[in-house]
Amino acid sequence: MSEEIKENAVYTTEEARNLLKISESTIKRMLKKGLIRANKVGGQYRILGKEILRIISPELEHQSGRAYMKVKDKVVDVINKW
C-alpha cells in the first residue's frame, strides 16, 4: 500500500525516507549536498511534501541525466588529454 504524498504537508526525515524508499545515509547525503531542500527545526530537518514530489518527478530525472552527461564529458576530455 503506497501512501499519498501531500504537497503542503511537512515530513520528518524518517517519513521522507520511507516515502522515497531510501536509506538513512542516502537521505543524509541528499540533505548535505542540497539535493533535498529542508528546514531545520529544533535540530531536526523538516521537508515539505512538494520537495519530495520534486525529487521523484520525471523532470528532475531528466535534469540529473543531463548533469551526469556533462560530468562524464569533462572526465572523458581529461582522460583523453593524458
Q: What is the CATH number of domain 10-81?
A: 1.10.1660
State pLDDT tens for residues 23-82.
999 999 999 988 899 999 999 999 999 999 888 876 766 776 777 788 889 999 999 988
State pLDDT tens for residues 2-27.
578 888 999 999 999 999 999 999 99
Residue with cell 531510501: 22
Distances (CA, A) of 67 to 26, 34, 53, 63, 73: 19, 15, 20, 6, 10
Map out the domains of the chain as residue ranges. Answer: 10-81
